[in-house]
Amino acid sequence: MSPFRNRSLLTKLNLIIALLLLFFFALSAVLNYHRQKQFVLDQSVEKARLVSFVAIHAREYVSNELLIGDVTLNRERYGLIPVVSSNRISQRVGAELGYHVRQVSTQYRNPMNAADPFESEVIEAFKADAGLREYYSQTDYQGAPVFRYLKPFKADQSCLECHAAPEDAPEFIRKLYPQEKDQSYNYQLGEVIGAVSIIIPVQELYSQIYDNLRNELFLNGAIFAALIALLAMLTRMAVTRPLARLGDGIAKIMRTGTFSEKIPHRGEDEIGRLIVGFNEMMSHLEERTRHLEESERRFSVLTETARDGIISFLKNGQVILFNREAERIFGYSKREVLGESVALFVHADCSSLGDLNMEEYLEEHAEGLTSQVQRVSGKRRDGSRLTLELSLSRAESDGQFFYTAILRNVT
């Protein structure tokens, strides 16, 4: 997480937006795949229906024409047998589409029309359920995945000419298919006698799916890339650039210590209101700083022009204020004594300190020292002794005590 935290806000936002869009892109790809798969499956079903329609209606058409023309079938007219002609027509149509088309039956004469186990099971289902008008499924065929479609066909009047009672069949049929060796006699009008079987290689279906999916992924990818670029630009304009101006303004204030420069804003959104609030805070701080500086100047004038020496120090004795009169009394400059201990100005004759350090002494005697004016022995820079009147006060600031001593030389 550390490398991510150290990235710029714009980079973080762009990464988050990109990840979200990539998630939706992946989700869209998955949904598109399933949609394309269903679409291709539906198309395959429709094409299989058309091929089966051609096979069944070709058989019906040839059958009707034979009846209308009172055509007698014989060996030379074998190709005009309705099931034979329609089978040949549907196989040609299937070959054009790359499909394997057969008219199959469990009561076949031509071994080429024998139903395989899958087809036999479906044909039996057609016989058992008169309302079942079609069946399709994805399965394996000869070790390869395929899409299989079957539509039942029923015996009509033309079928009975060759498949009714054996004695009623044409002589050439009886010779070709003797009763004792044939299972295709004794059909009943309207019964399910077989099915149009269509086999579509799945590889062809998936090739179409992948082609469609590839095109959609390319289009969606281009759209998502454009969205990422657009959102990145809008984020930069609406969020990170105003925040960068705000950060630059804060950095400049910290560098220069001035509050006069304001950050421009262009809107009234959350960031715009933040910048307005920041500018108002800067105006308030500028005014407060000006008042503080004026107060400090007045205090400085007051202390520097005072006729008494003024020394302020912390509870550990560290000097934090040393006015001009104190410089004259002790002979030290302000620069020399700021940060030093106030014990520097106490003469050795002042026995009340004893073995105590300045902080211990102040804690022990603060109440007595601040209650009345004291006379103490001081020490100049040259070590000479002087007598001082001391008025000591104690104050507190930010939880810290400090002392102010007002001194008058009465030597």
Any domain includes 7: yes
Identify which of 131, 59, 53, 132 has the alpha carbon closest to the alpha carbon of residue 94.
53
Contact 409, 329 (CB under 8 A): yes
Looking at residue 328, its pLDDT comes to 93
Number of domains into which the chain is organized: 3
Looking at residue 357, its pLDDT comes to 73
Contact 27, 217 (CB under 8 A): no
Contact 91, 110 (CB under 8 A): no
Do 45 and 102 sit in the same domain of this protein? yes
Do 170 and 32 sit in the same domain of this protein? yes
Report the alpha-carbon distance of residue 294 to residue 91 in Å, rounded.
Answer: 106
Do 195 and 162 sit in the same domain of this protein? yes
Can you read off the two tokens belonging to residue 184? Answer: 């295709």
Report the alpha-carbon distance of residue 1 to residue 163 in Å, rounded.
Answer: 81
Pick out the chain residues at pLDDT < 50.
1
Looking at residue 367, its pLDDT comes to 77
Looking at residue 134, its pLDDT comes to 93
Looking at residue 316, its pLDDT comes to 87
Phi-psi region of 190 (alpha: psi -120 to 50; beta: other; left: phi over 0): left
Percentage helix, strand, coil for the chain under 3-state DSSP, each rounded to 5? 60, 20, 20
Do 195 and 316 sit in the same domain of this protein? no
Any domain includes 250: no
Which of residues 159, 178, 213 is at a domain's end?
213
Please list, residue by residue across 233-270, b when 16 or more beta carbons sit within 10 angstroms of its beta carbon and e when fewer do. eebbeebbebeeebeebeeebeeeeebeeebebeeeee
Do 94 and 52 sit in the same domain of this protein? yes
Do 162 and 262 sit in the same domain of this protein? no
Looking at residue 319, its pLDDT comes to 93
Do 358 and 326 sit in the same domain of this protein? yes
pLDDT in tens, 350-394: 656 555 677 777 777 777 777 788 888 899 999 899 999 989 898
Do 135 and 208 sit in the same domain of this protein? yes
Do 191 and 330 sit in the same domain of this protein? no
Looking at residue 126, its pLDDT comes to 93
pLDDT in tens, 136-153: 988 888 888 888 999 998
Can you read off the two tokens belonging to residue 222? Answer: 């281009």
- Angle value at C-alpha 107, between 95 and 61, nearest 5 degrees: 55
Do 59 and 132 sit in the same domain of this protein? yes
Do 135 and 180 sit in the same domain of this protein? yes
Which of residues 213, 248, 270 is at a domain's end?
213
pLDDT in tens, 294-330: 888 888 888 888 899 999 999 888 999 999 999 999 9
Q: Containing domain of residue 268, as a range?
A: 258-302
Phi-psi region of 399 (alpha: psi -120 to 50; beta: other; left: phi over 0): left
Contact 163, 187 (CB under 8 A): yes
Report the alpha-carbon distance of residue 382 to residue 341 in Å, rounded.
Answer: 17
